[in-house]
């Protein structure tokens, strides 16, 4: 175990980080198992190495009901993510992986898309509260891949990407999905929509509909995304929008 409270440990780790930055060319850090040490310690490493980007893995369990499914209200879960960023320094480069959004999306795409509108009418994950500091993802090396600890429904992965690549937050793409699953072309199309229309971490999200079989949202007045099997949504799409990407149970205008 590393004693992060030991001043010598802190000094040597900071020197190592600065070497990685200056000599090797890294410009961002991922804090693995960040709940294993205090945010105060992470703040020391970030402040003294000044990365352009830093993201923490704070993976805690969602609140579940008696049916084994996540409760609609996950405020306590996302509050923990927000608290970490607050303590490390909200004006700096610190962000956290949006595990709240990941957990809700896992279940929502299985016919419960109403979960994607929180009680306040906003996105139910961290992106609904502090999108600039939320790094969204569908799966990573822990949840998917060989470890398979909390995997996204494999036949609905592209619905997950249609959500995170059109929504606020900073989306990241899983290597396996891009290169091993044969999804590169579909994912690239969504990335190009995001880039072309300037969708960014603090883009404005307006949720139009969130029912069991349909989630429809508009982002920055430029992009509309639909998840779910409901086909006839023409009456909900404003004039002037054209389909830019589509696949199994998702479409983007």
Residue 109 gets which letter from DSSP? T
The pLDDT score that the predictor gives to residue 20 is 98
Contact 230, 208 (CB under 8 A): no
pLDDT in tens, 93-144: 999 999 999 999 999 999 999 999 999 999 999 999 999 999 999 999 999 9
Q: What does the chain come to in residues?
A: 253
pLDDT of residue 145: 86
Q: Spell out where 129-178 has E strands.
A: 134-136, 170-171
pLDDT at 246: 97
Q: How far apart are CA 36 and CA 124, in angstroms?
A: 26
Mean pLDDT over 36-57 rounds to 97
Catalytic annotation, residues: 32, 57
- At residue 65, the 3 state secondary structure works out as coil
User: Would you identify the CATH topology of the domain 58-203?
Assistant: TIM Barrel (3.20.20)
Contact between residue 232 and residue 251 where contact means Cβ atoms under 8 Å apart: no
Break the chain into its structural domains and give their ranges: 58-203
CA–CA gap between residue 137 and residue 105 (Å, rounded):
10
Please tell me the distance from the alpha carbon of residue 88 to that of residue 40, in angstroms, as a whole number: 6
State what percent of residues in the chain have pLDDT above 90. 96
Confidence of residue 2 (pLDDT cuts 50, 70, 90): confident
pLDDT for 194 equals 98
∠ CA(208), CA(212), CA(213), 5° rounding?
80
Is residue 152 a contact partner of residue 106, using CB atoms and an 8 Å limit?
A: yes
| Pairing assessment for the beta strands 94-97 and 134-136 based on DSSP bridges | parallel
The pLDDT score that the predictor gives to residue 1 is: 78
Q: What value does the mean pLDDT take over residues 171-184? A: 97
116, 167 contact by CB (below 8 A): no
Mean pLDDT of the chain: 96
Element housing 214 (H / E):
strand 214-219
């Amino acid at each position: 175990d590393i004693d992060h409270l030991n001043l010598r440990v802190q000094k040597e780790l900071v020197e190592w980080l600065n070497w990685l930055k200056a000599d090797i060319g890294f410009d961002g850090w991922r804090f693995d198992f960040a709940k294993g040490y205090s945010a105060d310690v992470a703040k020391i490493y970030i402040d003294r190495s000044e990365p352009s980007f830093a993201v923490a893995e704070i993976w805690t369990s969602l609140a579940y009901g008696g049916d084994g499914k996540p409760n609609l209200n996950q405020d306590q879960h996302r509050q923990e993510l927000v608290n970490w960023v607050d303590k490390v320094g909200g004006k700096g480069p610190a962000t956290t992986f949006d595990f709240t959004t990941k957990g809700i999306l896992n279940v929502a795409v299985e016919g419960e898309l109403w979960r994607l509108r929180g009680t306040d009418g906003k996105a139910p994950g961290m992106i609904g509260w502090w999108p600039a500091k939320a790094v969204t993802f569908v799966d990573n090396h822990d949840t998917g891949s060989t470890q398979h600890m909390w995997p996204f429904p494999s036949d609905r992965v592209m619905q997950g990407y249609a959500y995170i690549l059109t929504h606020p937050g900073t989306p990241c793409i899983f290597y396996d999905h891009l290169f091993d699953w044969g999804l590169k072309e579909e994912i690239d199309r969504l990335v190009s929509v995001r880039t072309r229309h300037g969708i960014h971490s603090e883009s404005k999200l307006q949720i139009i509909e969130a029912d069991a079989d349909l989630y429809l949202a508009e982002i920055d007045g430029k992009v509309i995304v639909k998840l779910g099997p409901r086909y006839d949504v023409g009456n909900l799409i404003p004039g002037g929008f054209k389909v830019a990407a589509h696949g199994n149970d998702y479409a983007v205008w």
